[in-house]
Amino acid sequence: MKKNIYCLVVFLFFTFCAIAQKGVIDEVIWVVGDEAILRSDVEKQILQMKYERVDIEGDPYCVVPEQMAVRKLFMHQAKLDSVEANESTITMQVEGRISELISQIGSQQKLEEYFGKPLRELKEDLRVQAREQMIIQQVQQNIVGEQKITPSDVNKFFSQNKETIDMPIVPTKIEVQIIEVEPPYSQKEIEEIKEKLRGFKSRVESGEVSFSMLATLYSDDMGSARMGGELGFMGKGQLVSAFANELFSMSEPGKISRVVESEFGFHIIQFLERRGDKANCRHILLKPKVSLEAQKKAKQLMDSVAMVIRNGKLTFESAVSLYSQDKDTRNNAGLMFNMQDNSSRFEFQNLPPDLAKVASTMKVGEISDPFFMENSKGKQCCAIIKIKARHEQHTANLEDDFQMLKAYVQSDQNAKAIKNWVEQKQAETFVRISPEFQNCDFQYPGWNKTEEK
């Protein structure tokens, strides 16, 4: 009884504050525990979802406040578990999202006009959303835990649910073997790149320009360039060795490294901060350009290799070990590996564009003509490929598609664990909903419950 009186006081307090601050056009429509949901917050969320073309199944004024209420349950749990977000990662996400919005709308001014607030306030709104989303994902991961799914579990799941679940359709996939050679850079080109990076370093150290500005304008790492070159906090194992060794030898914030060569190209690194075994930095990457003469020689080599293989004088696998310069595929007989589903099978859309274009017209066992593409290190290379196998579109089965079916079962179990958790929290948490929302068809019906006596 005392708990209900306390929560009713909280509800009335929030309502009074909302009306006093914003007038009668705003009001508290839900209270979850000691957290309020305002009508204006719901309308703002609906507006953003419409702009981002997010489909809302059902009445938005029922769906959105319920989603916000569920998020408040997760955030309350985060406080109990002391779950925190990585602020550096949040900053990178916000800056990336702002860049995306500006490119879609046309300008910063139009963006501010659309949302009716200055960029500074919009960034803070996005920061709050990004922080909340990151925390909620961690809470959800704690809820579902680590679950081991066996082939028996997958088979049992689909056998028990065969009347209600249609087996997924697997699109056409291919397995590709590849031989890559990287045309060498001229020493002159390398020296010019190094000198340019040394010039950048001098300009920053003299105070002429900021490191982040130069990274935005000139870095060939497009992902970090839009963040001013910032990578966020990373451990040594997440970085290539030459880059990691240089970064973790630095300790003075703002200090800029010497020119560092890695498999991606040439860098200068600005140290920002270290937290435990992770460090944050900015970097500028420049990639040397391959001369036309070097491209020509690489193509001639690959022409010769392809001819020898077609004539049966050398197997493709032997040619991989003799000529391929890509260590990831060379140690696997040239077979490419798909990190997305931990297999050697690729949909055409998940292959590098230039490679997919060549592979789309080839038959199993065929050897391609040489072509140029950008490899996984972002470098231009000359390649030939062989289609090892082709798997036509089919209904998923355990023998060929276990990883995909396992992910389906994993997702279903995770969803059930989250659902059970939310329903349990509903039963334990005070909830007050304005009368106009009580007839909604909620995903979780437990919001409308009889008060405790």
State residue 15's pLDDT score. 44
Instruction: List C-alpha distances in Å: 220 to 182, 204, 214, 279.
Output: 18, 18, 11, 21
* Residue range 172-392, CATH number: 3.10.50.40
Each residue's pLDDT expressed in tens, for the chain with a length of 453 residues: 444 444 444 444 444 444 444 444 578 999 988 889 999 989 888 887 877 778 888 899 899 999 999 999 999 999 889 988 888 788 878 877 887 777 777 777 888 888 888 888 888 888 898 999 999 999 999 999 877 888 888 888 988 887 888 888 889 999 999 999 999 988 999 999 999 999 999 999 999 999 999 998 999 998 888 888 988 888 888 899 999 999 999 999 999 999 999 989 999 999 999 988 889 999 999 999 889 999 999 999 999 999 999 999 999 999 999 999 998 899 999 999 998 878 899 999 999 999 999 999 999 999 999 999 988 888 889 999 999 999 999 988 888 888 888 888 999 999 999 999 999 999 888 889 988 888 898 999 888 764 443
49 within 8 A of 39, measured Cβ to Cβ: no
Q: What residue ranges do the domains of the chain occupy? A: 2-82+411-447, 172-392
Stated pTM of the model: 0.61
The 10 Å CB-count burial string (b at 16+, else e) for 319-348 is bbeebbebeebbeeebbbebeebebbbbee
State residue 18's pLDDT score. 44
Instruction: List C-alpha distances in Å: 352 to 52, 342, 373, 384.
Output: 28, 17, 8, 13
The two three-digit tokens of residue 120, written as one number: 């500074």
